[in-house]
Chains A and B, each alone.
Chain A
Amino acid sequence: AQSVTQPDIHITVSEGASLELRCNYSYGATPYLFWYVQSPGQGLQLLLKYFSGDTLVQGIKGFEAEFKRSQSSFNLRKPSVHWSDAAEYFCAVVYTSGTYKYIFGTGTRLKVLA
């Protein structure tokens, strides 16, 4: 079955520290890959996306993600976290046929310590 795994439910980092959020997916081909961020009570904001080509993609707010086909992973990184980055982060895959519906992971809640 198609699935997305975000193994870390909660992550706490200090402000200014680096961040890596993990995402693994299962699929027989390369899907489209996305990271979204959700602040409390809000909808989802697109951080970055991967379709093809360069496996390191840049997004908004200083985030980047690297697609590794061999590991079926699409991990999100940020070199220096800001207090305003505290939120929930969702990885999503889109299977490029038919519905193009998103399959989301369960999310990682990021807490930033001052």
Chain B
Amino acid sequence: DTGVSQNPRHKITKRGQNVTFRCDPISEHNRLYWYRQTLGQGPEFLTYFQNEAQLEKSRLLSDRFSAERPKGSFSTLEIQRTEQGDSAMYLCASSLLSVEAKNIQYFGAGTRLSVL
């Protein structure tokens, strides 16, 4: 068990460019969550997957954002036409939804995005 892995750890981009982040969850976990954390705030829910199905998206997730989890394994979060307001830490978490595991979420170290 290597934990939740996120790549890259840091991304600097120019406004208007597209960026993609990757999250590799803990292998047996069936749920995967994306959160966004801005400076001085707690993480805010963006979206989540159960296996390969994306089951909910927050209103924070504008149509410039898209997330996928092909084959129910790793996930990608893409931001198109980045804006300065997209600068934040993007956190991924995975969990096992079961009576025993109670869906405790384990977080990756995050990807810090800076949009210039």
* Contact of B103 with A46 in the complex, beta carbons under 8 Å: no
- Render B65-102 as a binary contact track against A, CB cut-off 8 A, 1 for contact: 00000000000000000000000000101010100001
Q: A43-B109, A44-B91, A99-B48 are in contact. Are A104 and B55 (CB under 8 A)?
A: no
- Render A74-107 as a binary contact track against B, CB cut-off 8 A, 1 for contact: 0000000000000000101010001111111111
B22 to chain A, nearest CB (A): 15
Cα distance A105–B43 in the bound complex, in angstroms: 8
Count residues on chain B whose CB falls below 8 Å from chain A CBs. Answer: 28
Interface size class of A (residues with CB under 8 A): 20 to 34
The dominant DSSP class at the A interface is strand
Cα distance A32–B105 in the bound complex, in angstroms: 12
Apart from the given pairs A49-B104, A102-B93, A106-B40, 14 other A-B contacts in the complex at a CB distance below 8 Å: A4-B42, A43-B108, A44-B43, A90-B43, A99-B45, A100-B31, A100-B103, A101-B56, A102-B35, A104-B43, A104-B44, A106-B41, A107-B40, A107-B42
Chain A residues with CB under 8 Å of chain B are 4, 32, 34, 36, 41-46, 49, 51, 90, 92, 94, 98-107
